[in-house]
Amino acid sequence: MTPLEKLLKARRRWESDYETKGMIPKNKKFVTTSGMEVPPLCWPEDPASAEEYMEKLGFPGQYPYTRGPHSSMYRGKFWTMRQFSGFASPEETNKRYRYILEQGGDGLSVAFDLPTLMGRDPDSPWSLGEVGKCGVSVASLEDMEILFKDIPMGEITTSMTINSPAAIIWAMFIAAAENQGWKREQLGGTIQNDILKEYIAQKEFIYPPTPSVKLVVDTIEFATRELPRWNPVSISGYHIREAGSTAIQELAFTLADGFTYVEAAMERGLDVDEFAPRLSHFFNSHLDFFEEIGKFRAARRIWATRMRNKYGAKSERSLLCRFHTQTAGCSLQAQQPEVNLIRTATQALAGALGGTQSLHTNSMDETLALPSEKAVTLAMRTQQVLKHEVIAGAPIDPLGGSYFVEWMTDKMEAGANEYFDKIEAMGGVVAGIESGFFQREIARAALNYQQEYDRKERIIVGVNKYVDPDEVIDIPILDIPEEKIRTHQIKKLDALRKRRNNARVQECLDNIKQAAENDENLMPFLIDGAHAYCSLGEMVDILKEVYSEYEETVAF
């Protein structure tokens, strides 16, 4: 078969998939404001030119998925609009969730407070000053039940941003859904559960890397067996970028973490095609518009190539790099906060043109405080304008074939591959974490960015140029009375401890410890503990007796 014949065969396959699998509404036409009907995919009419043009680009929904994981992309199904939210008590956050759903959100993304992220109950002395401050406080199944009160947990998809105690929080979510009457196979969503990036960037770790990766594999194995609609890991570059990395570092370090989980799951005995379809990714969308689009396209190509060639994946779904995107929180500025609307809209457009499956748009005021309802609504409206007014008539991968976009995609891929070689030479991701390689690379990148800003080689509008010296910032501050929330959460936890079956609690904790010592999958034991109303801190602490706590000793 000649290259041209292969191209034409691939084109016919794409056209067939577009018609039969694309979920295109019947008689739906995509037209410009001038009335021109826009084709689903554009290419040169001359076959010889098309051969050269499409040889590397490929087709949407076909290996290596540079142009998107699905044949029809947004023509068949738009990205999920998911707003990251959580503050104060579960009661307060539950009100915000219902508001988001009423405003047109079709998925929830849970932000937990720092004590929850660190596996501490609100009555821990280490929790003082942080309960409910930057997320919602969840210490037990009771809190999880309140958080999702009157929200059908089996009908929406839920993303939960938590890592070191992720298995425990997920167990509470599963138990709460079961108490609502849902079966495990009905639950759809994602738990971030990417512990490697915590050591690299965000620093919310509890246990050493090796047992922490074991816990991640436990969740992968359990989801594979019992929750087919759940993504047990969201391999996250977002926090790596927020810590100061470059786009290439974000791409390389994120995918390297992902490959580490793949290898660990395969070592457990799982077939790659059993679990890989449920691995998802989470990327940052920053301000360099075309670089971000190239990053997203390169991520799909790298993931598909490695999954097939190195890990032997055969299922098409195992090759798909599906990802959520969040606009760059670190790019938001306190000065002239309305300008953040423009930054966020541009970043969201990059995510959409880059082919994201899910999108969160930051609120303009969150660099000053927890977002106001007006700001949250504007953030949601940003996505709705993109969906209905900007992207609605566009072809699939509209920037594909641009000389600059293709050059940028290639450069991103090449830069990531250079990092993969370095990481492999040092013994892998865990070895790189323990030696401080990743931390030093990000620190250098962050320093370089700051120096460019200081020298005004990098302009931040309203901050180091176009400054308004008379600016008065009039942003409503959402007051979070931490002491009041902490008292409320402690009283609730105290009352729970008095009325629960504490003999059953101790039995569950003993079972968790013994299972950890025996290197068993902990998920069934954690779910039992959640149903018995063991607290988060109690389950975290019993595992500390087996795994110990990790203390970073990296020299910069």
Q: Can you point out the beta strands (E) in 95-161?
A: 107-111, 157-161
Q: Is the pLDDT of residue 137 over 90?
A: yes
Query: Which residues contact residue 411 at a Cβ distance below 8 angstroms, ignoring those fewer than 6 apart?
Result: 294
Structure tokens at 35: 């009335």
- Contact between 89 and 488 under an 8 Å Cβ cutoff? The reply is yes
Q: Decide if 44 is inside a domain.
A: no
| CA atoms within a 13 Å half-sphere pointing along the CA-CB vector of 547 | 28
Q: Decide if 175 is inside a domain.
A: yes
The domain tally of the chain equals: 1
**CA distance readout (Å), 357 to 67, 111, 320, 349:** 13, 20, 11, 13
CA gap 122, 137 in Å, rounded: 8
pLDDT of residue 48: 65
CATH number, residue 393: 3.20.20.240
Maximum distance among all alpha carbons in the chain?
77
Q: Decide if 217 is inside a domain.
A: yes
Long-range contacts made by residues 38-47, C-beta under 8 angstroms, separation at least 24?
A: 38/393, 38/394, 38/395, 39/395, 40/72, 40/75, 40/395, 40/396, 41/14, 41/395, 41/396, 41/397, 42/395, 42/398, 42/401, 43/401, 47/4, 47/8
Q: Is the pLDDT of residue 32 over 90?
A: no
Q: Is the pLDDT of residue 83 over 70?
A: no
- Of residues 108 and 242, the one with the higher pLDDT is 242
Each residue's pLDDT tens digit, 162-178: 999 999 999 999 999 99
Q: Decide if 11 is inside a domain.
A: no
Q: Decide if 326 is inside a domain.
A: yes
User: Which residue range(s) make up the domain with 333?
Assistant: 73-454
Which of 293, 237, 513 has its CA nearest to residue 411? Answer: 293
By three-state DSSP, how is residue 371 classified? coil
Q: Decide if 208 is inside a domain.
A: yes
Each residue's pLDDT tens digit, 300-334: 999 999 999 999 999 999 999 999 999 999 999 99
Using only the alpha carbons of the chain, give its radius of gyration: 24
CA gap 73, 354 in Å, rounded: 11
Hey, what amino acid is at 47?
P
Q: Decide if 145 is inside a domain.
A: yes
SS3 of 436-450: the string is CHHHHHHHHHHHHHH
Q: Decide if 549 is inside a domain.
A: no
Each residue's pLDDT tens digit, 225-249: 999 999 999 999 999 999 999 999 9
Q: Is the pTM of this model over 0.85?
A: yes
Q: Is the pLDDT of residue 27 over 90?
A: no
- Contact between 81 and 383 under an 8 Å Cβ cutoff? The reply is yes
Average pLDDT over the chain, rounded to an integer: 93
